[in-house]
Structure 1
Amino acid sequence: MIDKNFNELIEKSIKNFWDYVSLQNYEGKSLKYSEVASYIKYFHKIFKDLGIKREDKIALLGPNSVNWAIVYISVVTYGATIVPILKDFHLQDIEHILNHSDSKMFFCPSKTYKKIDEDDIKKLELIFSLDNFSLLSFKNKKSRKVYEKYSNFDKNLSPGSFSFNKKITNDQTAVLVYTSGTTGFSKGVMLDYNSLIANILYAQNNIELKPKHRVLSFLPLAHAYGCAFDFLFPFTVGVEITFLSMIPSPKILLKAFNDVKPQLINMVPLIIEKMYKKKIKPKLEKGILGVLTNIPLVKKGIYKKIVSQLENAFGGEFINLVIGGAPLDPQIEDFFKKIGLTFSVGYGMTECAPLIAYDQPETHKTASVGKVIDYLDLKIDSADPENQVGEILVRGENVMKGYYKNEKATKEVFTDDGWMKTGDLGILDSDGYLFIKGRRKNMILGPSGQNIYPEEIENKLNNMDFIEESIVFGEENYIYALVYPDYDKLDEIDDYSLDPQEYLTAKMEENRKKINKILPNYSHLKEIKLHPESFEKTPTKKIKRYLYKNY
């Protein structure tokens, strides 16, 4: 166990940055660290009088917001277990999680409450509105009286008088995160305080952020990546965190970047990949810019201008751009490194809260996800980890305790000597850099037993003409791709006699022949099928492959 205490980190931050702005909604209300302290004390009193005990579950659902952050920090500093639920889950999945987690309290938007059938949720005692903290539902009169008793905040708090009464131990379960809402497939990941502390301390030592710096939180806070690096870590160093509650369309996101001007930006690959494919690549492939990039001295100036435009698009003041949550396209990564954009790549999973590997922009190796973090051990389950692909195994301070009420799944994911199987495949070079090859469950077995990694084929496909995104499947020696076309590019063709379906079908056949020339024979594509709409994705914008297996 780490010798630091979570509550001490939070308390120290609040006291040190008492009068600094801490949390604010984009174009909305803001709170100082001192005001956050008042909310924490307020909820601690309510929890205590309602009989909330160590590791009792309190569920939380809603968009990124000041109120979401207040509830989260109040619950975990009290010693109860927070159950963050992604707001995109279907109603039946939300009700399933509330039941499976044994949640006693639930904070949610009022509109969500109106849809819930409380009779189906057995242990739930109170429901609060996340909009304004009003009491929406209670099962006994005592709950109502407790709520009314603490209608006013303690306005006499000072840095000297503020402290947490409870001593939290690092082995307690702080967070219960559900990797899926679907009934029958839910896995509640139990993360202890040690896991949170490991991620916070690693970030403090490796990612540059200073008091009064700014962060724009637009990744889902209910996901481990957004929660750790857009919220918990920045909170501990006196940063001003702005929450973007609406769905971040490119237009909204660019405006928010310009207004907030963040020093740290955490994002998933899809965002920056789209910027490259829609804005940068077309200009470099056509017209005068495409010609000028063949002249070395001129090319350097063009690249410098592209970097400047990208930096301005991100607000113009960012120190580090961290890309994680899903694999970054190697060709796009190589381009951004070539032009001199400052960014770093990380790798993690919910079961590690989330970080497993990371490296600084200056030393990061292209196509790798960095080196294993200080608090973990990592190994490749193969006879030759540098050359032979194997499953990535980890153990250490920020590995989960297990899956809640699921001993079978917990036993399956851990080896007898305590290593956790990530389900990812990779190699580890002599310098300790980790290279991800794909997911174990996605791997296709070739006709003579060769390992085929569909993600590698997809990366190549996604950089070809008229392809927005793709999924590669294989069955009985038949490998095919499912493609969502780039309809924006199709719209640019000024030919009214064109049959879109016929044109795209012909283009996909050209792409199939082109990619097969650079693929080994055993991984050749037999067919490219068109999919009419964008693929459904997870909160970190990974495609939900299982939905399209039998398309």
Structure 2
Amino acid sequence: MQTPNGISHDKHMNGPDQIVPADSYFTSVPGDHVKLRVTSRGLGSEPPISVPGLLTRTTARYPDATALATKKADGKWHKITYKQYQERVRIAAKGFLKLGLERYHSVGILGFNSEQWFIADLAAIHAGGYAAGIYTTNSADACYHCLLSSRANICAVQDKKQLDKVLSVRHKLQHLKAIIQWEGPVDTSIPGLYSWEQLMEMGAQEPDTQLNNVLKSIAVNECCTLVYTSGTVGPPKAVMLSHDNLTWDAFSIGERCQDLKPTEDRLISFLPLSHVAAQVVDIYTTLSNAVPVFFAQPDALKGSLVETLKEVRPTRFLAVPRVWEKMYEKIMSVGASSGYIKKQIALWAKDKGLKHHLARINGVEGSSFGYKIAKSLVFNKVHESLGLNHCSTFVTAAAPLSPEIKKFFLSLDVPIVDAFGMSEAAGAHTLSIYPKFSLDSAGELLEGTETKFGGATSPNGPGEIMMRGRHVFMGYLNDDAKTKDAVDDEGWLHSGDIGRVDSNNLLYITGRIKELLITAGGENVAPVLIEQTVQAELLNVGYAVLIGDRRKFLAVLLTLKAKVNSETGEALDDLEVEARKWVASLGSSATKISEIVEKKDPVVYKAIEEGIARANKHAISNAQKIQKFAILPADFSVPSGELGPTLKIKRNVVYEKYKDIIEDFYKD
């Protein structure tokens, strides 16, 4: 057995949980091994385990427990046990090997969260390859980049829509040998295209010999998964994550959630699995702790998620900020249509809820008779309507969530805690568990990890958050220069974020180096906090993007909340229901964004101006006050390019798309 660089590892055949000797903590070479930062005590001393080893261990402990559940066309939830899960992973792995998957080559996975996604991911790893998730929103060119750079031998696609992307670039992919389609009719006339059923039939007919030999060659300290960054500058980088990166970070997350109940807890998988947060939570933390996973429908983020929540009643719920914001808008909409008595009861209950939780956060016993009544009269009903009445952990991740939104949910007995991390840290570096959190922190540092902050001589400037531990990645695939830029000689991963830690081990992010605006007067401005303040004052603003780098003053681009095309996900010209009500309350008859922008609707623009004036009262200096604003002609969306797959703003895209409007701010 040889790696692509010709190094023989024939003598290392005690896998999959073996550790192959290595000289460095980092590499960019496929097939290389790295040193592990195993400590002598604490969580960092947990014995390393491979992904196949983890599946074997959990299957041995809970063979008949539910692992995965899928709602099919008959309207019923179809479940598979851990024993069936492992069997299907092994069969798919044998199928991949039969189709020509080579060691340290990838299986690209392009589709919505499903049983097949999970099985393809683990099967690729069992067969000695890399699992490489690809965002369903990627263009054909972006898919080509991922498949080419990962030397994909196989690509698993959900349906014809994703298949067509791969077929359009297939002629340029020299390593690609087969495509697997797991949903919809398969065109048998296309060479090298197989259905999921054909893959499984093929694998079932293969003996175990080759697969078992490959498993013996696997090591905990080699790469098993590639996560592509959503980079707004240049093509995405392939983050190499080892078995130990993923299984240890999942273990650490599980230890922070000390009351996880194997086989009893429930989680819904709906965030893109090509994103590291969804992978480490949905695939690995659940596997590590035998937590059943229920798959949402593909249109979850377009509206069906709440129905799945009501059916499954998850006990743990991880969402990105936009999901929490949508829930907030829905609750506000329902509240606005309530009668006077209901509104007064809700206001009283929210006051009791907020005081109760703020007391607990501050270390004071918060329970009271009033809180218990509020819980019975209001909170339980709100939770049930959201499908969160069995949920004990509410987490936000992938981007900052406004403290005002968190405060609102806290008043409704929903304490949303933070997790912070990055692809290069296998997902999570912090995770808060109630009541040890704060409304404006990014979460409590995970045990077993190390954190420090850049000093005056740091390459990226003072205050940069740096991380070290078993969760820090191996390197960027085939990119030694960028790997060395990301990690220094002492093994510290440079996050690009600026922050601090308080006495409770809570991390606070005060800015992002790449997003930091430096005005013409030399003032450093962190945009996110100012943007959140504007959004808190103007609840019907969809997104706010601060402008002002190397400029004389700050300005802001705003979108108004719009209805969304349920099929494409594109933002429409029609105002969202609550935004329309707000506009009407101002005295405007506009129902479309274009009507407001083209006519510069005076009452709407005046209301925006007043909201910005209120936001400016929070500014720490005159240089951090917004002087001008513009309402953009359309709300942001993934299809139009301003948002990434996890609904984070792609600032560079916004700057380029609206450069003329930006220049107009500064013409005078």
How far apart, CA to CA, are the structure 1 residues paired with 2:616 and 2:200?
A: 71
How far apart, CA to CA, are the structure 2 residues paired with 1:297 and 1:206?
A: 29
How far apart, CA to CA, are the structure 2 residues paired with 1:422 and 1:358?
A: 16
Pick aligned residue for 2:318 from 249, 252, 266: 266
Match of 2:15 in 1: none
Matched, 1:311 2:386: no
Match of 2:580 in 1: 491
For 1:111-141, what per-residue CA distance to the aligned partner results, in whole angstroms no more than 9, with x for missing partners?
1223423211111111122338989799899
Match of 1:444 in 2: 517
Q: Secondary structure of 1:371's partner?
A: coil
Q: 1:425 to 1:172 in 2, by over 3 A?
A: same
How far apart, CA to CA, are the structure 2 residues paired with 1:149 and 1:296?
A: 54
Q: Secondary structure of 1:18's partner?
A: coil
Q: 1:189 to 1:283 in 2, by over 3 A?
A: same
Q: Is the 8 A contact 1:57 1:104 kept in 2?
A: yes
Match of 2:606 in 1: 506
Q: Which shifted more, 493-502 or 105-114?
A: 493-502
For residue 312 of structure 2, what is the amino acid of its counterpart?
A: V
How far apart, CA to CA, are the structure 1 residues paired with 2:273 and 2:164?
A: 23
How far apart, CA to CA, are the structure 2 residues paired with 1:148 and 1:362?
A: 48
Displacement of 1:50 after TM fit?
A: 4.9
For 1:163-203, what per-residue CA distance to the aligned partner results, in whole angstroms no more than 9, with x for missing partners?
99435312111111111388942211111111101222112
For 1:197-219, what per-residue CA distance to the aligned partner results, in whole angstroms no more than 9, with x for missing partners?
12221122122242143211111
Q: 1:123 to 1:135 in 2, by over 3 A?
A: farther
What runs of 5+ residues in structure 1 fail to find an aligned partner?
none
Displacement of 1:151 after TM fit?
A: 3.7
Displacement of 1:26 after TM fit?
A: 2.7
How far apart, CA to CA, are the structure 2 residues paired with 1:292 and 1:48?
A: 63
Matched, 1:467 2:541: yes
Match of 2:61 in 1: 16
Pick aligned residue for 1:524 from 610, 625, 632: 625
For residue 451 of structure 2, what is the amino acid of its counterpart?
A: L
Q: 1:295 to 1:265 in 2, by over 3 A?
A: closer
Q: Is the 8 A contact 1:344 1:364 kept in 2?
A: yes
Match of 2:6 in 1: none
TM-score (norm 1): 0.88
For residue 508 of structure 1, what is the amino acid of its counterpart?
A: I
How far apart, CA to CA, are the structure 2 residues paired with 1:298 and 1:191?
A: 45
Displacement of 1:48 after TM fit?
A: 4.0
For residue 512 of structure 1, what is the amino acid of its counterpart?
A: I
Displacement of 1:296 after TM fit?
A: 8.7
Pick aligned residue for 1:381 from 450, 454, 479: 454
Percent identity (aligned): 23
Pick aligned residue for 2:236 from 172, 178, 186: 186
For 1:440-497, what per-residue CA distance to the aligned partner results, in whole angstroms no more than 9, with x for missing partners?
1111124543321110101101112332221112131221111112433342226575
Q: Is the 8 A contact 1:209 1:234 kept in 2?
A: no
* Aligned length in residues: 542
Matched, 1:218 2:319: no
Q: 1:4 to 1:453 in 2, by over 3 A?
A: same
Match of 2:251 in 1: 201
Displacement of 1:356 after TM fit?
A: 0.8
Q: 1:5 to 1:479 in 2, by over 3 A?
A: same
How far apart, CA to CA, are the structure 1 residues paired with 2:186 and 2:524?
A: 56
How far apart, CA to CA, are the structure 1 residues paired with 2:502 and 2:457?
A: 10
Q: 1:125 to 1:381 in 2, by over 3 A?
A: same
Q: Secondary structure of 1:274's partner?
A: helix
Q: Which shifted more, 283-292 or 323-332?
A: 283-292
Give matches, 1:21-32, under 5 Å. Answer: 21-27=66-72, 29-32=78-81
Pick aligned residue for 2:308 from 236, 241, 256: 256
Q: Which shifted more, 103-112 or 375-384?
A: 375-384
Q: 1:102 to 1:497 in 2, by over 3 A?
A: closer
Q: Is the 8 A contact 1:59 1:98 kept in 2?
A: yes
TM-score (norm 2): 0.74
Displacement of 1:105 after TM fit?
A: 1.2
Give matches, 1:7-86, under 5 Å. Answer: 7-27=52-72, 29-50=78-99, 52-86=101-135
Q: Is the 8 A contact 2:301 2:323 kept in 1?
A: no
Match of 1:240 in 2: 292
Displacement of 1:290 after TM fit?
A: 6.3
Pick aligned residue for 1:482 from 546, 550, 557: 557
Q: Secondary structure of 1:549's partner?
A: helix
Matched, 1:349 2:429: no
Q: Secondary structure of 1:242's partner?
A: strand
Q: Is the 8 A contact 1:512 1:527 kept in 2?
A: no
For 1:91-117, what per-residue CA distance to the aligned partner results, in whole angstroms no more than 9, with x for missing partners?
111112111211111111341223423
Q: Secondary structure of 2:216's partner?
A: coil
Q: 1:164 to 1:214 in 2, by over 3 A?
A: farther
How far apart, CA to CA, are the structure 1 residues paired with 2:142 and 2:56?
A: 35
Q: Which shifted more, 57-66 or 496-505?
A: 496-505
Give matches, 1:285-304, under 5 Å. Answer: 304=375
Pick aligned residue for 1:542 from 633, 643, 648: 648
Q: Is the 8 A contact 2:66 2:263 kept in 1?
A: no
